[in-house]
Structure 1
């Protein structure tokens, strides 16, 4: 068993033992080929939970700071995030965002699973915010199926501003994959917007969250 499999199985066991999550719809994950996981976003821990509980590996981006820490703590964090398949990205820079999408594109074309939060950043008030169109761009450019995921209760595991994780039951609902015609990168902004809205509607159906009219903004925006 490799480091990735060991880290993922250990994390899954820890989550199962402490939180006893309800997971519905695992059969909706395509058994082969590239696919895009599109969850709502309530907690810092969401990526780790999805990566651990999905039947196939899913690569999410994580803040570059998690990979550059020093000392024992830094080494442990770097080892963990690398172990669950996270990819470092510098947040808040347009060039980095463009490169991030290109990285996901390459992984999809290689037949891998990738994860992207359409809301961009986590919701701190429980609302489901308007989706940013990066997920629509990926879906139309590659034709890869989009698997909507609804996370419920993960905000209670580590409430905003809390330094500690509190084991709590949560639910992960995996919806049926959404398929969009592959157009390559030469598609219109309205088409990208429509695809993104369709994905957000599927997420909303899984979570039952109230919808926000606009985009979510991070604490520094």
Structure 2
């Protein structure tokens, strides 16, 4: 029975990865064709709707296979709520997919390398997602999207967490909120697995099913101009909120309270890492 469970787990893992790649590659040639033909607004709306539906279908497939269980209902309350920055913590690679799957018109700030990626690049460009560099262009694009009435998805940590409960926050989120004069809606992402965290090998099989939950946190008003203080307050709120999460991944043996496991080498990743 143990062998059967292990084989089933590998099948679920590989089918899930293949399915995500297939969804992205199916949309890529169509996005390449439509991008120069459609007006910017029509292309943006279509591109984001397709991405949202594709991710929702993918997460639904993971649920049907018994690989994951998702509790994302609270995110639905944000539909039609007006321009704001969506600010989640960032434990794993599925975080953006979970949020975008429930909201069909979100401007995402993405790493420039992902926008050049063969799997995601064409779709991201059609959806008018925003490159994270150069910084000035990213801030300008984010403010323009918010002034146009859209949600903006931006991870305050800038990348996946490398310490518990959150990594140091970047000041760009507070600066965008200040310039656009929009609130910051926090979201808390919790999971009971270390799957796809920093240091988790892509093809390492986790225990399944993996539970994910996204819940709404406090909504902060735009900063009054003190960017450093606002960023520190936001980071402190997340740290306090995540101090006793409802879902907790297993901790590595001997790890301190500020460390995450690096499953590739079996050692903790300390908060001093960049």
> TM-score by structure 2 length?
0.60
Change (3 A) 1:52 1:141: same
Q: Distance in 2 between matches of 1:83 and 1:9?
A: 15
Which residue of structure 2 lines up, in the alignment, with residue 143 of structure 1? 181
Q: Structure 1's 29 and 58: CA in aligned 2 closer, same or farther, altered over 3 A?
A: same
* Unpaired runs of at least 5, structure 2: 1-44, 63-67, 245-256, 260-270
Q: CA deviation at 1:102?
A: 1.4
Residues 93-128 of structure 1 deviation map (CA, whole Å, 9 limit, x = unaligned)? xxx122211110111111111111212221134331
Residues 1:2 and 1:141: Cα distance change in structure 2 (over 3 Å): closer
Match of 2:165 in 1: 127
For the Cα contact (< 8 Å) 1:11–1:52, is it kept in 2? Answer: yes
Report the counterpart of residue 204 of structure 1 in structure 2.
239
1:3-18 equivalences under 5 Å are 3-18=47-62
Please identify runs of 4+ aligned residues in structure 1 that moved more than 6 A: 209-212
1:68 counterpart residue number: 116
Would you say how many aligned residue pairs link Structure 1 and Structure 2?
198
SS in structure 2 opposite 1:50? helix
1:149 CA displacement: 0.8
Distance 1:113 1:146 in 2: 10
Render the CA deviation track for 1:71-104: whole Å, top value 9, x for unaligned: xxx2x332454476643344xxxxx122211110
- Structure showing greater relative contact order (alpha-carbon pairs closer than 8 Å, 6 or more residues apart): 1
Q: Could you tell me how far 1:170 is from its partner in structure 2?
A: 0.7
Q: Is the 8 A contact 1:153 1:169 kept in 2?
A: yes
Q: Is there any run of 5+ residues in structure 1 with no aligned partner, and where?
A: 91-95
What RMSD in Å do the two structures reach over aligned CA positions?
A: 3.1
Shift of residue 16, structure 1, vs aligned partner: 3.2
Instruction: State how far apart, in whole Å, the 2-side matches of 1:89 and 1:119 are.
Output: 13
Equivalent position of 1:174 in the other structure = 216
C-alpha distance in structure 2 between counterparts of 1:80 and 1:21, whole Å: 24
CA distance in 1, matches of 2:194, 2:137: 33
Aligned to 1:46: 95
Give the whole-Å Cα distance in 1 for the aligned partners of 2:74 and 2:241: 11
Whether 2:203 is the aligned partner of 1:164: answer: yes
Residues 66 and 78, structure 1, Cα contact 8 Å, conserved in 2: yes
Once residues 171 and 25 of structure 1 are traced to their aligned partners in structure 2, the CA distance between those partners, rounded to angstroms, is: 9
